[in-house]
Structure 1
Amino acid sequence: MNSRIFVPIRTVTEGLGYDVDWKSPNATISNGSTLVVLTIGSKTAVVNDREVALDAPAMISSNLTYVPLRFVGEQFGLDVYWDAETRSVHMYSKLVDTPPPADPDGGGNSAPGDGTDGSGQPGTNPGTGGGATIPSTDEKALLKSITYDGLGSIYLPYEGDFDGVKTQVLHNTERIVVDLPYMNFDPYFTPGFLPSTNGTKLGEMLIDSHPTLQKVRYSYYSDKPSTIRVVLDLSAPTNFKVTNEDHVVRIDVLEQTGPAVDPPPVTPPDNTPDNGVFKVVLDAGHGGKDPGASSVNGHKEKEYNLAITLKVKALLDQEPKIKPYLTRSDDTFVELADRANYANKLPADVFVSFHANMATSGTASGSETYYWRSDSLALAKVMHKHLVAGTGLKDRGVRTGNYHVIRETTMPAVLLEAGYLSNSTDSAVLYNSAKQDKIAKEIVAGIKEYLKIG
């Protein structure tokens, strides 16, 4: 409304895990250290006993309390990013602006592969032994996002100007390294970063649709000068081209020039439970008062989530080495924190959350698998392969997603977005009982493959 984004106040409680107390006309939001009081219709809020002006007041519509999302997020130290193309909002925990202890290629404190920064001189990336490093102030540009077009081009739009792109090709293993000097990440950079305990800005994108390009990794690499490093992991030597026009750096990955290298194997879990039975938590997303997304054929997301969860459980019940557990077994509402806590207290060996997607356009289609921590990547790869086989829909890849249930669980965890309910074809697949049976069989096959159960 009026160029401001409002969300129901329950989004704050369920999505962010904050406490909300509603006593008309005031809504009090707290995360334990920050307390925000919003008054319906008032452009003044109280933040930790301090009055703060806001552009748009909280309001009530259709008996729901709505709050201005950006204001709430920023008061709690979150970055809020609006994606105009998909009309979606992304919220990220802010990271301390300190250089990482190692570059994204895992090569210690210098450039990967040769112990130098590519020019024969020692790398400038700080080591891990010291304390916090003062953030760089010499950046001339901010990287807004990194996207892959599915064909072979990576786009890096930025604001400002910087002093040229530097590239190098490294072997054993094959990779292309692209450095962007005098550049830092925009506060609203997407697709975001992997979790970090020391403020390190590291992220990755898995690529499944290119003959040789396997992964794109990125990080804040150095503060002398402020530099972003992008690494393209390849399965074979490959030509490439880098252009910088209209404030967009474009990397085109071209034809293969050498023999392929075997990709590293997916690493399954090493330890078998003492009693030989794995605990697998199946999480049917949404439920009860939270219906989730609405499909074009009149169904609710919570219906699909529960149906596929129950079918997977029925199949796992027949597996002597697997014990399935459910966060909900009927149309009830369960808090996100309770779902994660349930899995952690078991403790579970694997956590799988079932969902379906939604977009404003009816053309978006396909299956996606999300993970957050690095120890969940192997599970995500296996489960996504089987998810796509089960749905038969477009493969939209494995992605990182900062979702509560896969962020706060302590075991390998994935969130499966089986298809788009805004797409009539996807929706017809997900609400077809026979198709659900096939999806359930593939999900079970994926769990068994990951756990190395024959």
Structure 2
Amino acid sequence: MKKLISFVCIVAGLFVLLGFSGVASASTTPKLYLDGNQIVTDVDPIIKQGTTLVPLAVLSSGLGYEVKWDNQAKEVTVLDRSMTIKLGIGQKVGYVNETSYELSQPPSLVKNRTMVPIRFVSEVLGLKVEWKQQTSEVLLTSPVPEPEPTPTPTPAPVQEATISNVSISEEGNLHIAYSGVLANPKVMLLPSDASTPARLVVDFNNTGYTYDLASGFIKGQTEVALNGYKDITGYRFSQFSNTPLVARVVLLLNEEAEYKLYKNDGELIISFNEVSNDLPGELIDPNPTPPPSQSPDEGTPPPQTDTSKPIYHIVLDAGHGGTDPGAINKSLGYFEKDFTLSAVLKMKAELEKHEQVVVHLTRSNDTFIELAQRVAFAENIPGVGKKADIFISVHANSYTNNSVSGTETYYIRENSKQLANTLHPYIVGAVGFKDRGVRTASFKVIRETTMPAVLLEIGYLSNSTEAKSLFNSNTQNKLAKEFAAGIFKYLKLQ
């Protein structure tokens, strides 16, 4: 049963968990003060090997944190709007959200009270800590929150197409691959001057770039120099505007170059000097003139307006990466970061089998990405100019007791509850692990994003049986298929 503990109690508990490196002797009983008020508890704080441990319940009294105790696992969890702290009795490693911390002293039980190191907890909660040697006093000062400015809502730009590749062919034609509905571009031919060659500027309205292209921009663009081509000496492309969304491609031309534009489903080709008369696709007049007004032949239906289906942008977040390995199974040599990336790549492939889904990855290789960067990515997808419709963060769990097992799905905001409840049964069914349920926890990536967002703890890497299954390609393939089925159900896609 959940028990709401006051703020002061939680602070005391956190103090014990974190530890305060004092210099008083072990026989000294330190006194605790929070914002000038002494904290009194039925179990006195203790100093153990230079670290002050205090009862967790003392710190929670009055602070409004929620504290949960797992008697079987001997683990305490502290929750608030901004973080989740997990501490195990006798364990020198504590967890804050998704980051592990080594504690100066492990939490311990004294008279059925959880004693935690004060320094770690106070730093995590943002409390200022001062040690008074002469009086053996620990003075804690609460942070003063700054008022949050009221954001000014801005209309999200419309994106109808996404450019996935820009490349030059052997014949010297520029190929622009895209998905979605690409409107005919606006084309401008700019003459050369004393310092600049002639340029062909091609603007695509309501168009962005894939993450892979946009993340490679240097100073806002990608620039390619060419040698050996008759008509073009180079090209560059960029997100010229975010509001409205305009993708720009600029070609550097020789003076006498002539060009034609061809468009087909998925590709636009800029051809030079009549070399591509037989290219597939529609020939585009870059400066079209309206056709004369005509009445349709009798019996011919009038042209219909194209009503394209909605495109859903989904961000998949492979937990950890690079210098942050996440959970580790030392006996098997498994790292959480490797599982999450492998699983997410398979999930992306399954999701994108549906024409209405576009997937964006916070990382597509073994790279360390800050949590704040993952949130920012989902809130404004590079090359897209809008926030994601869904955010999913994929993880593998770990615990000191290697018999603990199962699958958990976490959400924190009300707009994410339906997504969590819809997706969770598909994940459990795919891997076949113990169903540990849909839970709430204040992980940063699902707390600070604004779209429906969940964090999946697929299984326990610390449990060798589940770890072997998590790294099995058949399990991952089934997980990807069932995951995609759950997303399609949530989005009501056939």
TM-score, normalised with respect to structure 1? 0.45
Structure with max Cα Rg: 2
Q: TM-score, normalised by structure 2?
A: 0.42
